Amino acid sequence: MMMAAAAVVALASCNNASPKMDEQPAAAAEGNNGGVKIAYVEVDSLMTQYEFCKEFTLILQKKSNNARNTLNQKGQALQSAMANFQQKLNNNGFTSREQAESQQAAIQRQQQSLQELQARLENELGNETAKYNEGLRDSLQHFLAAYNKDKKYDLILTKQGDNILFANKRFDITNDVINGLNKHYKSTLKVEAEKKEEKK
């Protein structure tokens, strides 16, 4: 019912795996492919070890669960109202046709309200997901732009699942990217925390 969290280039959802900050990245080979310098990043590892991704995914999961619970509760209330109406109708429990029509109209309004709520919650979750995707994309692009000033790769690929059938590990810069992203993210959180303290 609710929209699932999507990620950049169909990135997988984050989990709680800890980043391996002490690992040194493998150096990507230079001069390969006729002088073109290539590297790749393992998407699954990036998504499970980048702190921004893990934290934001937890937020999205919580919002999705809360929305689902709210819709389930209101859906059950609607089903109960419909069942009660049908029971009264079958047992001639209404004193007049107008009374039955009034209750039926109230149920229809309740149903419409539920549909509008579902649309609003899905829209909110979609906006949050888009915000997450944009944040992830921007942080990765900004990091790689700065990172590549020294590394000078001609091409940096994303490796996820079988989208690349084979890649030599010497082209893998995943740990380097993860460590750099996490370092920058932690420094950003520290600056934000200091700003909040100054406002108090």
* Residue 172 DSSP symbol: B
- For 39-76, the pLDDT digits (tens) are 999 999 999 999 999 999 999 999 999 999 999 999 99
CA distances from 164 to 37, 43, 158, 161 (A): 17, 12, 9, 7
pLDDT at 12: 36
- For 87-116, the pLDDT digits (tens) are 999 998 888 999 999 999 999 999 999 999
Q: Hey, is 155 helix, strand or coil?
A: strand
Q: Quick check: 6 pLDDT over 70?
A: no
pLDDT at 155: 95
Whether the model clears a pTM of 0.75, i.e. scores above it, the answer is no
Q: What percentage of the chain has pLDDT greater than the value 70?
A: 82
| Element of type H or E holding 156 | strand 155-159
Residues 116-121, mean pLDDT to the nearest whole number:
97
User: What tokens were used for 51?
Assistant: 């702190």
Q: Hey, is 164 helix, strand or coil?
A: coil
Residue whose entry in the numeric block shows the structure tokens 């942080």: 139
